[in-house]
């Protein structure tokens, strides 16, 4: 499959009071055309920072290293005008709280229309297109709803409007940062379906950023598990769920509530995520890892191919080849 986006040795450090806080460290992964790639990890693992760095929407007090190659161009070296074009046309992003991304003083329809009016001038044609888009994201009463202001819509409807806006541009890559966190489960299920259709019908690739393994299991093709700014494991979704290799992935899978209390106990993970300022020696998970060997505290492991398409970053040979 053709590579759409490639991250090469992406490192992001935040400049904070006591030095450079490592948020993302030497990250490497690809997203192929038409694929749903999930970047999963717990809060503070740097997954959202990755999303914002691809859109080049970081705050400005970060140092970004490495390359983000999108269709053969390094986004980090583009000038702002070109980047704006890419943001408008080729890469779209939806956020956790769609109310923040919609302008409260314009009707939802006119904001979608604005996205279309770049190529189309006739007002009636635009309106028709907007209504069509609303129908395609299954907003009931589309003709009426285009006149609604963002606050008049429910959370699920707002997220649909955001997706409609994305559809109008037909981006090759959609970044969805916790797209359903604020929504009820039944609404969440509908939005997930919409995202899946977006991929199936329009061929958009989706970078799904989430901490919710339920969404990953529902939607993703491939999964990257992040911990403390690094990828610990990367594989097809079935592999991640059924034969995780890295001790961290294993611990996460064992802590998912998939059983009843009579059937057993959930595994837990003791300790906390390290806050890494400046250089760090060894594996970032070593302090919480039950399989850590001496080497783990001295040398940074590399993300290596463990099986075709399945990458693991671990030094312990028993973990990799045991069982």
**For the chain, how long is the longest CA-to-CA vector?**
69
CB of 278 to another protein, least distance (A): 15
Q: Which is nearer to another protein, 68 or 206 (CB)?
A: 206
Cα gap 295→288, rounded to integer Å: 15
Candidate ranges 83-91, 106-114, 162-170, 249-257; the one touching another protein (CB under 8 A): 249-257
Task: Give the per-residue contact string, 43-72, with another protein (x = CB under 8 A; - = no).
Answer: x-----------------------------
| Residue 203 or 264 having the CB closest to another protein | 264
Q: Which position among 20, 21, 69, 187 is part of the footprint of another protein (CB under 8 A)? A: 187
Q: Which of 60, 81, 124, 272 binds another protein (CB under 8 A)?
A: 272
> Where does this chain touch another protein (CB under 8 A) — which range of 104-112, 116-124, 180-188, 200-208?
180-188
User: Taking a C-beta distance cutoff of 8 angstroms, is the pair 227, 285 a contact?
Assistant: yes
Beta carbon of residue 103, minimum distance to another protein (angstroms, whole number) = 17
At residue 85, the 3 state secondary structure works out as helix
> Distance between CA 69 and CA 62 in Å, rounded?
19
Q: What is the nearest approach in angstroms of another protein to the Cβ of residue 318? A: 23
Among residues 113, 215, 232, 234, the one that binds another protein under rule CB under 8 A: 215
Interatomic CA distance for residues 220 and 242, integer angstroms: 14
Q: How far apart are CA 149 and CA 304, in angstroms?
A: 50
Tell me if 146 contacts another protein by CB under 8 A: no
The span from the CA of 241 to the CA of 191, in Å, is 22
Q: How far is the CB of 153 from another protein (least distance, A)?
A: 7
Q: How far is the CB of 261 from another protein (least distance, A)?
A: 6
Cβ-count burial 90-115 (b if 16+ within 10 Å, e if not): ebbbbbbebeebbeeeebbbbbbbeb
β 173-177/205-210 pair status:
parallel
Q: How far is the CB of 193 from another protein (least distance, A)?
A: 7
Task: Output 271 or 322, the one with its CB closest to another protein.
Answer: 271
For residue 100, state whether it binds another protein (rule: CB under 8 A).
no
Q: Which of residues 14-43 bind another protein (CB under 8 A)?
A: 17-18, 42-43
Cβ burial of 54 (10 Å; 0-12, 13-18, 19+) is: buried
Residue 79 DSSP code: -
- Is residue 294 within 8 Å of residue 300, measured between CB atoms? no
Task: Select the residue interacting with another protein from 75, 157, 161, 312 (CB under 8 A).
Answer: 157
Query: Cα torsion at 221, 224, 225, 231 (round to 10°)?
Result: 170
Sheet holding 173-177: strands in order across? 91-94, 173-177, 205-210, 36-40, 222-227, 230-236, 310-313, 303-307
Using CB under 8 A as the binding rule, whether residue 241 contacts another protein is answered as yes
By CB under 8 A, tell whether 178 contacts another protein: no
Q: If binding is defined by CB under 8 A, does position 256 make contact with another protein?
A: yes
Minimum gap (Å) between residue 220 Cβ and another protein: 8
Chain residues binding another protein by CB under 8 A are 17-18, 42-43, 138, 140, 152-154, 157, 184-190, 193, 211-215, 217-218, 220, 237-238, 241-242, 251-252, 255-261, 265-269, 272
């Amino acid at each position: 499959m053709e590579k759409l986006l490639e991250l090469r040795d992406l490192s992001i450090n935040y400049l904070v009071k006591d030095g450079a806080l490592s948020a993302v460290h030497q990250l490497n992964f690809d997203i192929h055309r038409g694929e749903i790639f999930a970047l999963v990890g717990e809060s503070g693992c740097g997954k959202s920072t990755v999303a914002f760095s691809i859109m080049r929407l970081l705050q400005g007090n970060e140092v970004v290293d490495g390359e983000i190659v999108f269709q053969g161009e390094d986004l980090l070296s583009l000038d702002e005008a070109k980047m704006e074009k890419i943001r408008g046309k080729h890469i779209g992003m939806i956020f956790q709280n769609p109310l923040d991304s919609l302008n409260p003083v314009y009707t939802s329809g006119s904001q979608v229309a604005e996205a279309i009016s770049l190529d189309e001038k006739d007002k009636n044609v635009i309106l028709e297109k907007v209504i069509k888009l609303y129908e395609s994201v299954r907003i009931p009463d589309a003709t009426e709803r285009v006149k609604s202001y963002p606050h008049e819509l429910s959370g699920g409807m707002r997220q649909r409007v955001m997706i409609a806006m994305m559809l109008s541009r037909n981006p090759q890559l959609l970044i969805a940062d916790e797209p359903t966190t604020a929504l009820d489960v039944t609404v969440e299920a509908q939005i997930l379906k919409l995202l899946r259709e977006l991929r199936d019908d329009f061929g958009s690739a989706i970078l799904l950023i989430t901490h919710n393994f339920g969404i990953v299991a529902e939607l993703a093709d491939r999964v990257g598990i992040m911990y403390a700014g690094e990828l610990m494991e990367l594989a097809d979704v079935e592999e991640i769920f059924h034969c995780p290799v890295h001790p961290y992935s294993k611990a996460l899978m064992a802590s998912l509530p998939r059983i009843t209390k009579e059937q057993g106990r959930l595994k837990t993970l003791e300790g906390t995520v390290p806050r890494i300022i400046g250089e760090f020696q060894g594996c970032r998970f070593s302090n919480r890892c039950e399989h850590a060997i001496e080497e783990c505290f001295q040398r940074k492991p590399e993300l290596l191919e463990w099986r075709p398409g399945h990458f693991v970053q671990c030094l312990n040979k028993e973990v990799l080849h045991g069982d």
